[in-house]
Structure 1
Amino acid sequence: MADEQNEVPDSTAVRVALWRAMHVRVDPPPHVLEDETGLRLAAPDDGWQRRPDMDPRGTSGFRAAVVARARFIEDLVADQADHGVAQYVVLGAGLDTFAQRRPQIASRLRVFEIDQPATQDWKRRRLIELGYGIPDWLRLVPVDFEAGGDWWEQLSTAGFDPGRPAVVACTGVTMYLTKDATAATLRRLAGLAPGSTLAMTFMLPTELIDDADRPALEATKPQARAAGTPFISFYTPQEMLTMAREAGLQDAQHVSGSLLASRYFADRSDGLRPSSGEDFLVAAT
């Protein structure tokens, strides 16, 4: 998403990029994800690390969750690329930097990043200014969601081949959409070519969040509302699986945040662990 008037990405996209950079700067190795490219793109004011939402201790769980989900997606994309999948779609791409950080994998794919027109204009300009450029295999696809833009149509126009398998990632988006909008997206994705994979995050209802994480998550809700991006949709894992299967995605699985914590944060000496509250739907066609 983006501020259409000022042609800048919204605060949520920037915060996620800064958290990824904070992981490299304040957490000891091994780093789950090494990404300071988003920081370069965002180019925040000096002193950004002193922002309240960058507090190294207070926001450590959110920071860890962000890098865990990004690492999970990148591992999935790398695995699918090794199995011959050649298209990767990022819905709500924001300041995603996979194409810049992992060109040895990304260049084997055609990568489609979908977001609001202002975000895409801004990102295109920043990638050129920083010397990354826009390689032919990277397509920044502008879709005006607020005006009812058809992302599927724009994706096809950008060169996506619906007859070939793809990986589709959608992280940190469904909590901002109505359940009807998410169901419509799932129905569309169920029509992907056989051999395609979807990885989509969803936010759990409060009662399913660990007691220790609940106060911090509750505190973020009014902040999100004040920023114009209120959380409006929460799902139990069974509800999300049912929605996916009703949409036509029969091979649907729930991947919990605790599983990602065990996979990527086991045996850390600093005790860094992702906060609970956001899980994955992974489905194949």
Structure 2
Amino acid sequence: MLVDDDPALFLDDLAERVLGTAGTDMIRYHRHQGGHPILAAARVQATLRSRFAEAALRDAVGRGVDQYLLLGAGLDTFGVRSELARSLLVVEVDHPATQRWKRSRLADTGLDASSAVRYVDADLTADAVLDRALSVGLDASRPVFVSWLGGVPYFRPCELSRVLSDLARLPPGSELVADYHVPPDWQDDHAELYVRAVSEVASDGAEPWRSSFTPDGVAALLAENGFVVVTDHSERDSVPAGFWERRDGLRPGSLMRLVHARRTADG
């Protein structure tokens, strides 16, 4: 992390470079207002989900998985940041405009990942994502590790089911990591404050949150599409307890949970 104290939840040392001036201004603002509960909660969510996904990916690579599919990849820098990326086929899927902007920024900063990352333009609400990924070299006969970070709450349950049914075509041993929001009765007061503040901004930007689940609900949705839950963690439980013995403003919240699932042989 570039704002908060040790122990770091996650470190992306390329984010500021990719974002340029906007990134520098954003980091400066967070440093000056770091204790604000809304800003701190946003940093916790963003860092924890990346930490969780990449830890699960490392374990999967140890089991022989060598393909990584990022849904809604956004500005994720894994492909140019991680040594692990050099041993993987990395496929990033996102909206065409997002992909163009990101690739332009990478090229401008000397971080062009064109030789290491395959890019796929797709609308996750409408396109057959797996077919698009296959067109750039993903091999659906071998297990694939899939991450879907920061996107699930923006999709309706029917849209999530459509994407998952597409991923159900992946072979047994494939894995999926995602973060999701829990319903209001699972949220504490701090989460309710965050939801009121952030959901209004998201709705004004035509990107409202559209889904929330209990852990049992997520497990059922995944099971319908051939995935069995391996782990499902709250923010607090996703890292060792010592990470929350802090002097800064980072505290675990109750809005987001992190799920890791595996494609079953009989799914």
Q: Would you call these one fold, judging by a TM-score over 0.5?
A: yes
Check the 8 A contact 1:245/1:252 in 2, yes or no: no
Match of 1:115 among 94, 97, 121: 94
Check the 8 A contact 1:261/1:273 in 2, yes or no: no
Check the 8 A contact 1:200/1:280 in 2, yes or no: yes
Aligned partner of residue 227 in structure 2, secondary structure: coil
Structure 1 unaligned blocks of 5 or more:
1-22
Matched, 1:33 2:10: yes
Aligned residues: 260
1:277 matched residue in structure 2: 255
What's the offset of the Cα at 1:105?
0.6
1:182 aligned partner, one-letter code = L
Q: Distance in 2 between matches of 1:142 and 1:112?
A: 11
1:195 matched residue in structure 2: 173
Q: Distance in 1 between matches of 2:210 and 2:241?
A: 29
Moved over 6 A (4+): none
Matched, 1:68 2:48: yes
Check the 8 A contact 1:174/1:233 in 2, yes or no: yes
What's the offset of the Cα at 1:271?
5.8
1:264–1:248 distance in 2 versus 1, CA, 3 Å: farther
Match of 1:177 among 151, 155, 159: 155
Q: Distance in 1 between matches of 2:27 and 2:221?
A: 40
Report 1 or 2 for greater relative contact order, CA contacts < 8 Å, sequence distance ≥ 6. 2
1:188-217 deviation per Cα after TM superposition (whole angstroms, max 9, x unaligned): 222211211111111111210122332122
1:234-280 deviation per Cα after TM superposition (whole angstroms, max 9, x unaligned): 11111111111122223554222221154572433436223221112
Aligned partner of residue 67 in structure 1, secondary structure: helix
2:112 matched residue in structure 1: 133
2:250 aligned partner, one-letter code = L
2:165 aligned partner, one-letter code = R
Aligned partner of residue 172 in structure 1, secondary structure: coil
Match of 1:96 among 42, 66, 76: 76
1:138–1:52 distance in 2 versus 1, CA, 3 Å: closer
1:37–1:260 distance in 2 versus 1, CA, 3 Å: same
Larger mean Cα displacement after TM superposition, 44-53 or 167-176: 44-53
TM-score by length of 2: 0.89
Check the 8 A contact 1:68/1:264 in 2, yes or no: no
Structure 2 unaligned blocks of 5 or more:
none
2:215 matched residue in structure 1: 237
Matched, 1:246 2:224: yes
Q: Distance in 2 between matches of 1:228 and 1:53?
A: 28
1:92-139 deviation per Cα after TM superposition (whole angstroms, max 9, x unaligned): 00000112211x211100001100111111111211111112243311
Q: Distance in 2 between matches of 1:88 and 1:49?
A: 29
Identical-pair percentage: 30
Q: Distance in 1 between matches of 2:71 and 2:219?
A: 19
Aligned partner of residue 107 in structure 1, secondary structure: helix
1:69 aligned partner, one-letter code = R
* Backbone CA RMSD of aligned residues: 2.2
What's the offset of the Cα at 1:53?
11
1:20 matched residue in structure 2: none
